[in-house]
Amino acid sequence: SRFELVEFCHDLVAQMQMTNVQNIIYFISQTNYIKVCMDKNILDSILKNLLDNAIKYSPLGSMVEFKLLCNNKKVIFQVKDSGIGISMSDQQRLFEPFYRGNNVDNIPGTGLGLSIVKTLVDLHGGQVAVESKIGVGTTFTVMLPYSI
């Protein structure tokens, strides 16, 4: 479907903040108004998984930064947290189904979220990347091509 992306992101954040009051999701849009043709359900699922992880693997009360950027070919979403971080060896495997990092301790999860994200990003012809440091935090970047 065709929809306005900044509003879509605002709505998504508002929706997530209703169930997650322990962390603040800070949404920053580097673009003003952009109508795109994308699959809403796919986008919803990608972003919810990333925001859900950012909250889950961060200390209570810490801030999660959610940024939207775009150029004339693709939109870029960045989800940045100040959480537990991901080791280099885990970073290489975390998109595999059921894979979980060695530092998750008793934080619950199935290890499926990111494998779903990767599948959906691929379906949409995009890319996903991770940057992380143990004990410092993690940034996931998703790039998705769009048509207008």
Nearer to ligand ATP, 113 or 126 (CB): 113
Q: Taking the CA of residue 113 as centre, how many other CA atoms within 13 Å lie in the half-sphere pointing to its CB?
A: 17
Closest distance of CB 36 from Mg ion, Å: 25
DSSP-derived 3-state class of residue 61: coil
The piece of 26-34, 83-91, 100-108, 113-121 that touches Mg ion (CB under 5 A) is 113-121
Closest distance of CB 86 from ligand ATP, Å: 5
Q: Which of 25, 30, 102 is nearest to 65 (CA)?
A: 25
The piece of 4-12, 15-23, 69-77, 104-112 that touches ligand ATP (CB under 6 A) is 104-112
Residues 52-91 close enough to bind Mg ion by CB under 5 A: 53
Task: Count CB-CB contacts under 10 A for residue 36.
Answer: 19
Closest distance of CB 131 from ligand ATP, Å: 11
DSSP-derived 3-state class of residue 25: strand
CA distance 92 to 61: 29
Regarding 138 and contact with Mg ion (CB under 5 A), the answer is: no
Closest distance of CB 143 from ligand ATP, Å: 18
- Do 113 and 52 touch, CB atoms closer than 8 A? yes
Mark residues 60-99: x for contact with ligand ATP by CB under 6 A, - for none. Answer: ---------------------x-xxxx---x---x----x
CA distance 53 to 109: 10
Q: Which stretches of the chain bind Mg ion, using CB under 5 A?
A: 53, 113
